[in-house]
Amino acid sequence: MTVSEQLRREQTAFVAAVAGELTDFLTQRQALMSAISPDIDPIMGSISNLVTGGKRLRALMCYWGWRGAGGDPSAAQIVTAGSALELFQAAALIHDDIIDRSDTRRGGPSVHRRFSQLHLAQGWALDSERFGHAAAILTGDLCLSFSEEAFTEIGGQAGTGTRARLIFNLMRAEVMAGQYLDILEEVAGPVRDRAGAVTRAQSIIRFKSAKYSTEHPLALGGALAGAPDELLRGYSAFALPLGEAFQLRDDVLGVFGDPVTTGKPAGDDLREGKRTVLIALALEHATAAESAFIDAKLGSPELGEGDVAEIRRIIEESGALQATEALISDFGSEAFDALDRLPLDDLPKTALRRLAEATVSRAS
């Protein structure tokens, strides 16, 4: 069997095992929640919908971190760890869509929008949008709770004081901190020192996305398999720049991506007011009038197609898009160089290389 064939077989089996465990886990919780009231079913349905499908990037990074450290491919613990990461990812998406006022997720209504639609369809009293936000916050909180339950089910390897537990706890705390810095930048960014905007935006993507998308899942898998500190440091040297390239690519797609492939309206990040590295670079290098235009329009829910087109023009002509693409390339090169230095067997190294290539060059 070639390395490619073995990789495909292992990865397919792992993804299927994670999907099966998530189904079993949520089916059990569904019974518990339905015993409280059948009215809670839409919450459980929302969680199930979000953890069904997706790229499983975080779970796969965790798996190959485990395998790279000598973990057994058929072990139940790594499947449970992957499930916990998928539940955490779902919780983060629910809350992120509320914060960003995003009405779509993967081509369909976001969770808070689904609850608003349920309110309207049922003809309930009071405000549908407020109900949607409140119900989605609770759904995200429940999903976070489920993530913790799932992680605890790993057993002693994930117990209090273990390296894996410390990584899992740090990951969750950093995401919350990064989310706060993100919303702070949206409101304070226009009146703060513009020269530091790029540095602040890079810090936000590091803690809000990069670390929990790639670095922490990879290290978590390694830690569960008993990886030595040197290997975990090597994992971080590879996965952190990869995660930063991943988020920068996401920011480019949020402005220039095709809605058919991204599942979000064109220019959605601009309507949400995201002060990304891409935007920070544009504000830094555009003319004063162009920067004022971006500041005036960024975050407007009524942002029209003409405004989106104009901001895109400014981003391109200011050199911000080119500079962001250069950063993606630099981070990608840093990640691949670090991957080459990792003392891994062909299978996990090939798997991580392919994940990295797909992450840096993705179109959606």
pTM of the model: 0.94
Label each residue of 97-123 as H, E or C: HHHHCCCEECCEECHHHHHHHHHHHHC
Checking DSSP bridges between strand 108-109 and strand 104-105, what pairing results, if any? antiparallel
* Phi, psi of 104, rounded to the nearest 5 degrees: -125, 150
Q: Domain 3-361 in CATH: superfamily?
A: Farnesyl Diphosphate Synthase (1.10.600.10)
Distances (CA, A) of 130 to 45, 137, 180, 236, 267: 20, 11, 21, 41, 25
Q: How far apart are CA 48 and CA 90, in angstroms?
A: 9
Structure tokens at 37: 């009231």
Half-sphere exposure of residue 216: CA atoms within 13 angstroms, side-chain side: 26
| Domains of the chain by residue range | 3-361
Which of 176, 180, 182, 177 shows the shortest CA–CA distance to 273?
182
How would you write the pLDDT of the chain (364 residues) with one tens digit per residue?
A: 899 999 999 999 999 999 999 999 999 999 999 999 999 999 999 999 999 988 899 999 999 999 999 999 999 999 999 999 999 999 999 999 999 888 988 889 999 999 999 999 999 999 999 999 999 999 999 999 999 999 999 999 999 999 999 999 999 999 999 999 999 998 887 767 666 899 999 999 999 999 999 999 999 999 999 999 999 999 999 999 999 999 999 999 999 988 877 777 778 889 888 899 999 999 999 999 999 999 999 988 888 999 999 999 999 999 999 999 999 999 999 999 999 999 999 999 999 999 999 988 875 5
